[in-house]
Amino acid sequence: MTAAQDASGAPARVLLEAPDVQRALTRIAHEILEANKGSSGLVLLGVPTRGVQLARRLAARIAEVEGSQVPTGSLDVTMYRDDLRRHPVRELLPTELPPGGIDEKTVVLVDDVLFSGRTIRAALDALAALGRPRVVRLAVLVDRGHRELPIRADHVGKNLPTSLAERVDVQVAELDGRDAVLISGRGGN
């Protein structure tokens, strides 16, 4: 673990470096293929912002293994969040469904960090407004615990027990110039 800075500029420890992130994504891609028994009928939807980048990378790895492209898209959950009254100003990001939609497909929601479960609850509501998937699964790079809702990930890159005083930041090369998972704040509960 090396010292760095998180998104706010506070001192942070690097928990995963680029090679660790790549290995985790490769493992998740294989798990998704095993659970789905191949890539047929599979759709990956990333939750903005970093989930979209991670979904594209997972699709690329699946294509390397299967030799076929997996449809990907993005699912903005802003208008389905339960905290809009407390944080009313949020940038709306595009929801882009792949051609063929999501009806009767196996949809894998992809996000960077699973924390309280509220973002994923919002994603499920947004998904229900767009169609009726056959199965919905969840893939996350980091599961940091502290669930407030009964939601769990089907595919996890790294389980990372944290305190509520800590912050986990995922960086992706496409947006941040590097791949890393950082943790900052004081540890302990």
Band of residue 155 on the pLDDT scale cut at 50, 70, 90 = very high
- CATH for 18-81+92-170 is 3.40.50.2020
Q: Name the nearest CA neighbour of 145 among 117, 183, 110.
A: 117
CB burial of residue 75 (10 Å; 0-12, 13-18, 19+): buried
* Percent of the chain residues topping a pLDDT of 70: 92
> CA-CA distance, 84 to 86, in Å (whole number)?
5
- Domain spans in the chain, listed from the N-terminal domain onward: 18-81+92-170
- Summarised one tens digit per residue, pLDDT across range 157-188 is 999 999 999 999 999 999 999 999 999 997 65
In this predicted model, what pLDDT tens digit does every residue of 111-132 receive, in sequence order? Answer: 999 999 999 999 999 999 999 9
C-alpha distance from residue 13 to each of 80, 107, 120, 140, 169 (Å): 33, 33, 26, 20, 10
pLDDT at 91 (0 to 100): 79
Measured distance CA(64)–CA(172) in Å, rounded? 20
Rounded distance between C-alpha atoms, residue 53 and residue 63, angstroms: 15
